[in-house]
Structure 1
Amino acid sequence: MSNESVQSETHSKTARLVEISNQNCIAIVMIDNPPVNALSAQLRAELFEALTTLADDEDVLGIVIACSGRTFVAGGDIGEFGTPKQLEPPLLPDLCTLVEAIRKPIVAAIHGTALGGGLELALAASFRIVHTDAKLGLPEVKLGFIPGSGGTVRLPRLVGPEKALEMILSGSPISAEDALASGLAELVSETNLLADSVTFLRTFLDTKAGDLVPLRERDDRFAATRADPSRFEALAKGLIAKVRGLSAPIACVEAVRNAFVLSFDEALREERKIFLQLVSGPESRSLRHLFFAERQSNRTRKDIRARTVKRIGVIGAGTMGGGIAMSFANAGFSVTILEMSDEALSRGLGIIERNYAISVSRGSLSAEARAERLARLSPTTDYGALAECDLIIEAAFEAMDVKRQIFSQLGASTKPGTILATNTSYLDVNEIAEASGRPQDVVGLHFFSPANIMKLLEVVRGNKTSPDVIATALDVARRIGKVPVVVGVCHGFVGNRMLTARAMENEALLLEGASPGQVDKAFTDFGWPMGPFQMGDLAGLDIGWRNRKAQGKTALIADALCEAGRFGQKTGRGWYLYKDGSRDPQPDPEVDALVEGAARRQGITRRAIPSDEIVERTLFPMINEGARILAEGIAGRASDIDLVWVYGYGFPAGKGGPMFWAAQQKVIDIPTRLDHWFKNTGREIFRPTRELETLLR
């Protein structure tokens, strides 16, 4: 499914989407359904009609299916999902069956992207000729279902089950060169795709017309896997481990396995059955919600032009600054990194070099690419070196006086129009902006650690931030592969403000009878990659400790751990014990004793706490805070909050984000829950807002 598969509203629904021409017995079926030739109900009907006519035309010896515009069929029409249009015949499986059944050679001439249903249509053809710019893939798993029109059955017959499994489970497209090498394509066209496709078809008709073997009758790519399926099963196990908690990847493995275990028709029937089960399920609804949320968060007003950004400045070469610099260098930007001393600069560059070296050792980055990225970094201790930068991102220590000083200097020394961004996690962007003397040029760009990996970017809009600065921030975010979400100014913005609300129950649960391991297990069973205590140990407990002290706040157990020098993994002790440098958390009797002693002193009678209570007592206060954030206009849409939590904090994507998940929980009676918890704890867990009650109604 292409990110652009929803059709343009301006395209006439009555215009013909398929035209046929003839070049000396070769029929050219030209699809024209802008902007991305998505397989709408109208296009399916017209294409089915055209191919049915050509199948019976004795003057037609071969067929080329091609597309006008910038791409081949880029996928199904996502805009028709869940509507009657989606079920209008002919369905895509019927169209693919027709293409396959026509006893004439058919070439799919592919340029741009052939994704999802677009690639499934091409797989049903006899041959695939691809332009050098083509990308081919089956990304359905990213929307919570499997290819449902023969993709899991036909693709393995061309590229082998192992290659097919990698493509289908990753959902990522492959290049034209890869398609040729793997057997998915017969030829790569470097010039005129249509002419090359016609020439290929004529040559086949002149020399090999009798050798057209339907794909359903080819299973030579299965021989090795059938003889020894262990490699396939090991590959499947490894790929599934990377996407735990989701059912669609498991179903993809089953469907590809069916391709070489069952007959062709049986495998097709099973594929369709699995597809229909998944596409109507909660996981797919959640992932489709996130798909549209991401599209919406990227939109900017068409009348606002982004500023030109070519050179980046980053102030601070620590963990966050280094990660930000890598994000831009990876995307091809030239980056100037500023530090206050040569020692700090050398230390930061050393970490960046080690990070790239690790990528090279793992095979995810070539040595040449590593050298190119490092060459884009220009280290300096001189503010003057930032003079030509178009965007400067400050990633200094989280203290207002430090940031005000930096922005005062930047405001006075940088060229007009340079965008000045702060990476603050909590501080007031408006106060920082005023220190610059040019608040219209200031924006918050809150990256998440590790910045070169995490996809979320909170774009913090100050009171005086210019609209073209926001447009530029969104444009730059897309260019470096981030998911940007525009938020307003408040303490912690969206993500950290809600995280604070969630964390308020963590220690209370411990004092009342839960253990760190039990709380973390409740979280991972829900679908989080890890629980709050394990996450705290990974990030470092001293970070939260410093933040609490700056706000005059305390946390009974966490503060005691920090006072004892227990900062998490980096000290070998935190909420858990990490023996001999291991990252494997082990329960620590000292922590249990600390918690039990604190509970005793506060007169708390400890009890067994069920997992569902742990989940609800931590999630609903945070969702309640999200409802407040919406009411205050800090976030523009509930779906924006969902993006923040899925891409920044690991909320399980299969549940769609906290606000979407909460809206599905119609059976939860919050007043009854609050009354129950009050009887157990003697205190008000949280006070629900009207917005939360509306969300759950």
Structure 2
Amino acid sequence: MSAINLTTKKIGNDEIAILTFDLPNEKVNKLSTPVMTELKAHIEKLQTSNYKMVVFKSAKPKIFIAGADIEEIQKLKTPQEVQVAVSSGQTIFNQIEDLPMPTLALVHGACAGGGCELILACDYRIATDDSSTRIGLPETKLGILPGFGGCIRLPRTVGLQASLDVILAGKLLNPKKALKIGLVDYVVHVNLLDGFAETQIQKILAGGAKKRRKTFQPRGVVNKLLEGPLKGVVFKKAREGVLKATRGHYPAPLAALDVVRKTYGMSDRTRALQIELEHFAECAVTDISKNLIHVFYLTEMVKKQTGVSSDVKGKAVKQLGVLGAGTMGGGIAYVAADKGIGVRVKDISYEANAKALKHARDLWAKLVKKKVIDNYQFTQKMALVSTGLDFAGFKNLDVTVEAIVEDMGIKQKVIGQTAAEMREDAIIVTNTSSLSVNEMAKGHPRPEYFAGMHFFSPVHKMPLVEVIRGEKSSDETIATVFELAKKMGKMPVVVKDGPGFLVNRLLLPYMAEAAFLLAEGMSVEKVDKAYVNQFGMPMGPFELMDSVGLDVCVKVLNIFRKAFPDRVEVPALMEKLEKNKARLGQKTNLGFYKYEGGRKTEVDQSIYAELGISAPTNPYSDQECLERGVFAMINESALALDQDKIVDTPHEVDLAMIMGTGFPPFRGGLMKYADTIGADYVRTQLTKYATERKANRLKPSSKLVERADKKARFYN
């Protein structure tokens, strides 16, 4: 079956060709080798045709072209293989650019990577204003760079600064932003696209059907300076920005910057594309690129999953209840309403409900200020959130999220009350971070309609949701909650009930180990910097504890110790910290660090004396600090996977740790990283640290030892 259909249309006395992308049996269009071969055949016929214009469009409802076939790129092993594969794509896009008649791209839906590079080879571009329409070059997020001419054509189309903003960060722009920078020529409503396009085609044909070689001319004095005499400053600042954002762990943005720097203003297209090709090939064969593509596939897997192994489908959720209008409840209400779900928030006071409304209002107000949404959309979203002190309207709700105080007795009571006020087939989920879902389900008269839905804070930023399956949760309940999480823009991972579920179970030994390092003479700064600068974590363990809340950390650690007394230790200094209610972390503006207006300023040096420990002498190497923390997580992962079956596969561990903790994506995830260094090395080092530091908690677990003995990988 054909992936590209060629049809014709008469406009006046002129005939135009329309190439429609529609990859058979796929939800998206992608530029695989067979598709590119077919495209090349069409273009070569068009080169000698009498058509007055060529239009590119898609038959997919929300997709123009999602990009190249990532699987093909992942399989390429040498720079030479990459160059052969990618150069053919460059040739085809050159042929599009060089067609004798003008070309027009009609963009509705995702237009990413190779899709964006294709429309850049066209003369004219019209996009819809639909929320699904996103245009850009996300290649650097996969450890590569645009390779079909994007590094060459985008700067020439939109200018140096705007192109660097898109290419280096791997951005996908909404239609308004794409129009503003000149990436598209017009933005129209999807229902008006065909009619508007025909009008524009008539104008182009009436004007002589001329090709359009758009050369960017900087507008305004400042832009002219930045494009001319101060061009070097632009590249210098861009490089500094990349290094600040990536700390040098991601080579692709720097390689892309190098390509733009070398080719911007170059008249020789062949040489410019060769430079792009060489840099692309170097990046594509790196372990970092392979790891980032692995992470990409983890996210793609979730899109195809339902959360259950059976064929049971989840129910549609149009109305959501939220019990508790605190920070978590307000955040949950916001992300649900932002995706078009009606939300009813219930708390025990008007003041609490008002805070939830304000939380949502403030977040949408920021989007209005950034021109992501307009005032009409703001009003629409706010109208989806209502509040109350009673259960009025709960009979209309499909799902209710419980986000009240972390007290088992209170939760069970409230869950029972709520179930009595809802339809019998309605679902209740708990947002608990530490309490047993199975135990909590005893408060529900129909526990098959109960599960966990653990959001991470701040809710509007953190992508992970742990969907916790209780012993009596039905497949339909889990599938419904799984789909609800996706509808809310989150990445769901189904986990079995157990202490700490998955993420906290792995994270708490890591944070506890940082506290032991502190007690043994390491400084807060040195440990955190090692994790951030060397390992690539978004923040060090001490800053993370401040963010979570020191009281919460100690509370969950104690739950963890009670569950696993043979291997979990709680540092004495953590219990000292919990007693100081003025030093609970970011929420009290004082923890390991000082905070002003929610922003970290500096380490509070008085913390050492307060904890009764001497000034730090930093007796250990960065390597030991990193390995003790990270290997503690790997050790616990082996038990969670192989013994307790908290999740089914290492894929879920990696996805959860990346989306829930910011584990460095360029390392591929915790399990991928464990495979990189090998279970035997992890066992050897943990044995060494357990012996030398008299730390029984660091002894290799039985399941890790089994893997080391068998030289088994987490990924087969």
TM-score range, shorter chain: 0.7 to 0.9
Pick closer, same or farther for the CA change 1:95–1:433 going to 2, 3 Å. same
In the TM superposition, 1:4-403 aligns within 5 A as: 15=2, 17-19=4-6, 21=8, 24=14, 26-34=16-24, 35=26, 36-57=28-49, 59-70=50-61, 71-83=63-75, 91-131=88-128, 133=130, 134-187=133-186, 200-201=200-201, 203-209=203-209, 212=211, 214=213, 218-221=215-218, 223-227=224-228, 228-229=230-231, 230=233, 241-242=244-245, 244=247, 245-260=249-264, 262-265=266-269, 266-298=271-303, 299-300=305-306, 303-353=311-361, 369-403=377-411
Match of 1:669 in 2: 681
- Asked whether the 8 Å contact 2:469–2:496 carries over to 1, the reply is yes
- Asked whether the 8 Å contact 2:152–2:273 carries over to 1, the reply is yes
Pick closer, same or farther for the CA change 1:219–1:370 going to 2, 3 Å. closer
Match of 1:423 in 2: 431
- Return the offset for 1:313: 0.8
Structure 1 residue 647 corresponds to structure 2 residue 659: yes
CA distance in 2, matches of 1:176, 1:547: 45
CA distance in 1, matches of 2:252, 2:645: 35
Pick closer, same or farther for the CA change 1:467–1:696 going to 2, 3 Å. closer
- Return the offset for 1:405: 0.9
- Asked whether the 8 Å contact 1:306–1:471 carries over to 2, the reply is yes
Give, as a single letter, the amino acid of the residue that structure 1 aligns with 2:35: L
- Asked whether the 8 Å contact 2:591–2:604 carries over to 1, the reply is no
CA distance in 1, matches of 2:443, 2:679: 50
- Return the offset for 1:268: 2.4
TM-score with structure 1 length normalisation? 0.87
- Asked whether the 8 Å contact 2:74–2:293 carries over to 1, the reply is no
5+ residue gaps, structure 1: 1-11, 600-605
Structure 1 residue 627 corresponds to structure 2 residue 628: no
CA distance in 2, matches of 1:571, 1:651: 26
- Asked whether the 8 Å contact 2:357–2:385 carries over to 1, the reply is no
CA distance in 2, matches of 1:366, 1:185: 20
Match of 2:713 in 1: 695
1:210-269 Cα offsets, whole Å, 9 max, x none, are: x53545xx3534855322435676577557645555333333433344443544534323
1:541-597 Cα offsets, whole Å, 9 max, x none, are: 122233455666743111122334432344454334558997312251551674546
- Return the offset for 1:74: 2.7
Counterpart of 2:454 (choices 446, 469, 474) is 446
Pick closer, same or farther for the CA change 1:607–1:482 going to 2, 3 Å. closer
Q: CA RMSD in A?
A: 3.3
CA distance in 1, matches of 2:364, 2:216: 42
5+ residue gaps, structure 2: 563-568
Structure 1 residue 608 corresponds to structure 2 residue 619: yes
What percentage of aligned pairs have identical amino acids?
32
Which range is displaced more, 645-654 or 437-446? Answer: 645-654
- Return the offset for 1:316: 0.7
1:112-162 Cα offsets, whole Å, 9 max, x none, are: 332211121221123234455454222222222211111121112222222
- Asked whether the 8 Å contact 1:338–1:380 carries over to 2, the reply is yes
Pick closer, same or farther for the CA change 1:560–1:157 going to 2, 3 Å. same
Which range is displaced more, 505-514 or 573-582? Answer: 573-582
- Asked whether the 8 Å contact 1:161–1:257 carries over to 2, the reply is no
Pick closer, same or farther for the CA change 1:337–1:249 going to 2, 3 Å. same
CA distance in 2, matches of 1:145, 1:665: 24
SS in 2 for 1:617: helix
Match of 2:566 in 1: none
- Asked whether the 8 Å contact 2:5–2:20 carries over to 1, the reply is yes
User: How many residues get paired?
Assistant: 674
Pick closer, same or farther for the CA change 1:392–1:52 going to 2, 3 Å. same
Match of 1:539 in 2: 548
- Asked whether the 8 Å contact 1:621–1:686 carries over to 2, the reply is no
Pick closer, same or farther for the CA change 1:331–1:264 going to 2, 3 Å. farther
SS in 1 for 2:400: strand
CA distance in 1, matches of 2:188, 2:549: 53
CA distance in 2, matches of 1:499, 1:482: 20
CA distance in 1, matches of 2:364, 2:287: 39
Which range is displaced more, 86-95 or 633-642? Answer: 86-95
- Asked whether the 8 Å contact 2:5–2:19 carries over to 1, the reply is yes
